[in-house]
Amino acid sequence: MILNVDLSGEVPIYQQLRDQIVEAIAEGVLIEGSLLPATRTLAADFGINFHTVNKAYDLLRRQGLIRLNRKTGAVVTTTVAAPPFPSEWTARARTLLAEAVARGLPADEVLTTCRSLLDSFVTPREDTP
Amino acid sequence: MILNVDLSGEVPIYQQLRDQIVEAIAEGVLIEGSLLPATRTLAADFGINFHTVNKAYDLLRRQGLIRLNRKTGAVVTTTVAAPPFPSEWTARARTLLAEAVARGLPADEVLTTCRSLLDSFVTPREDTP
DNA sequence: CTACTTGTTATATAAGTTATAGAACAAATG
DNA sequence: CATTTGTTCTATAACTTATATAACAAGTAG
């Protein structure tokens, strides 16, 4: 997995890490059982503090996307979204889609973009018999 | 237009205001030429500081969604998204959609949700002859 | 013209967030 | 037992958020 951190960007570093790991999971680059680098290792790779990586991992853990074990490190776990998540997610999607429409992007183009993005995620977890 | 502000929420107040105004524009509740309340008025309505409202309006102005005139106040302006916007938006959409997929929401359900949201926005600006 | 309403700008302050730093603890592995 | 890993604690600097007060600037209405 390739992570890219923009240290001088507007988005907090821990959020960038979280987002990219979430995307890697969606893409199938990270699957159930995949091991993430140790916090100190990842921090050293980017020249950042390991507390910052810790914060990203803690976010992912609270969202049920990884499990943290001593010595084993962070392991990706695929769980099904808990009840409050879908409606919260929809609210956020509403805001993001509204922004696109308000700024003049045609609704059908927006939907096409969403479809493309989703298609790029859908990873064949099932074997072809 | 009905605005709702959660003073003790995680999302900054100025962001909540911005988001809700963006959604109102997408919904067609606010259309080109609609006047927003004066910053001091809106601030008084919610018992917040007018600088906070100012920040929300300034964000909207920089995104080309409203124009600010002295005495006239804030006026909604429908503009077409500038070049950097679509790709930036797509990047944000990618992150949000990835989160849904990573947390186990079926891709087709996610797309359906997006379609529903977009449908709820599409407002007939053209007259029916 | 004067008064009022509006956005604009400036300064200050308190609380919270982000990132860094160093240290120490706790558990699992080899 | 030593090492590696996450966990917890304290501290600090820079930035963000929200508030407060004050003054300025430009339109509009009387």
B57 touches strand D (CB under 7 A): no
C-alpha A102/C-alpha A99 separation (Å) is 5
**CATH code, domain carrying A38:** 1.10.10.10
Domain count, chain A: 2
Question: What pLDDT does residue B12 have?
Answer: 97
Question: What pLDDT does residue A25 have?
Answer: 96
Residue A66 falls inside a structural domain: yes
**Out of B92, B102, B119, closest to residue A96 by CB:** B92
C-alpha B96/C-alpha B20 separation (Å) is 19
Centroid of chain to Cα B98: 22
Q: What value does the mean pLDDT take over residues B97-101?
A: 97
Which residues constitute the domain of residue A57?
Answer: 13-76
B61 → chain A, closest CA residue: A103
Residues A62 and A28 in one domain: yes
A10 touches strand C (CB under 7 A): no
C-alpha B82/C-alpha A89 separation (Å) is 27
Residues A96 and A70 in one domain: no
Enter the tokens of residue A38. Answer: 């140790």
Tens of pLDDT along chain A (129 residues) come to 889 999 999 999 999 999 999 999 999 999 999 999 999 999 999 999 999 999 999 999 999 999 999 888 899 998 888 889 999 999 999 999 999 999 999 999 999 999 999 999 976 544 444
Where does residue A70 rank: exposed (0-12), middle (13-18), buried (19+ CB within 10 A)? exposed
Residues B31 and B66 in one domain: yes
Q: List chain A residues with CB under 8 Å of B100.
A: 81, 89, 93
Residue B53 falls inside a structural domain: yes
**C1'-nearest nucleotide to the CA of B16:** D17
Q: What is the mean pLDDT of chain B?
A: 92
DSSP-H helix ranges across A48-106 = 50-62, 84-102
Where does residue A74 rank: exposed (0-12), middle (13-18), buried (19+ CB within 10 A)? buried
Enter the tokens of residue B99. Answer: 């989160």
Helix (H, G, I), strand (E, B) or coil at A34: coil
Share of chain B above pLDDT 90, in %: 83
